[in-house]
A and B are shown apart, each in its own frame.
Chain A
Amino acid sequence: QQQVKQSPQSLIVQKGGISIINCAYENTAFDYFPWYQQFPGKGPALLIAIRPDVSEKKEGRFTISFNKSAKQFSLHIMDSQPGDSATYFCAASGGSNYKLTFGKGTLLTVNP
């Protein structure tokens, strides 16, 4: 059973555009929602994370929007750059065990 559903599977955006990746979860015990960025041949790097007590968190060009009632959260990348081209994973964890459940990933390509 996939507990975190991520879409789209792939995304192509023009330089300067907005990239939007969506995730939905089922487990109401989840209380921590990070996004990871992974370049080829590298490990995933923590990009930004949110907890359910806020509906939005912004760090530079990256924003997480969170809808607790809908059990959905999304990553927005403003002014997308070719250097943002990577695979993005949403994830979720709950309680004190810190175990992350990952979405299937989105391959983002930003064309120059």
Chain B
Amino acid sequence: SAVISQKPSRDICQRGTSLTIQCQVDSQVTMMFWYRQQPGQSLTLIATANQGSEATYESGFVIDKFPISRPNLTFSTLTVSNMSPEDSSIYLCSVGTVANTGELFFGEGSRLTVL
């Protein structure tokens, strides 16, 4: 399995500001996804991070609020823009390879609290 590093691991932010979360993988991966896990809840897919092109967003998530970059096969960023307390969640990077035939591995997550 891939080793996934997320930064920051946690942060406390003020309403109206933006925060960028980084996801670094120790090997080249085909698939990279960003999930959100609200406190005590399940995981919801935000978007698929596509290398060198615009991310593919799920229903209810938009690029202006959650811009995503993926410049290469091992790195991606998720920005949470113009934050409100409702954005307080754990944001998780997930990766997979075609060789793993569907297996997805998750980072430790970035715990975001918005005051």
A residues sitting closer than 8 Å to B (CB atoms) are 32, 34, 36, 41-46, 49, 89, 93, 97-105
Size class of the contact patch on chain B: 20 to 34
Q: List 23 A-B contacts (CB under 8 A).
A: A32-B101, A34-B102, A43-B106, A43-B108, A46-B103, A46-B104, A46-B105, A49-B102, A49-B103, A89-B42, A89-B43, A93-B102, A98-B31, A99-B33, A99-B48, A100-B33, A100-B43, A100-B45, A100-B94, A100-B104, A102-B42, A102-B43, A103-B42
The answer to whether B102 and A98 have CB atoms under 8 Å apart is: yes
Q: How far is the CB of B38 from chain A (nearest CB, A)?
A: 12
B residues sitting closer than 8 Å to A (CB atoms) are 1, 4, 31, 33, 41-45, 48, 92, 94, 96, 101-109, 111
- Cα-based distance from A45 to B104 in the complex (angstroms): 9
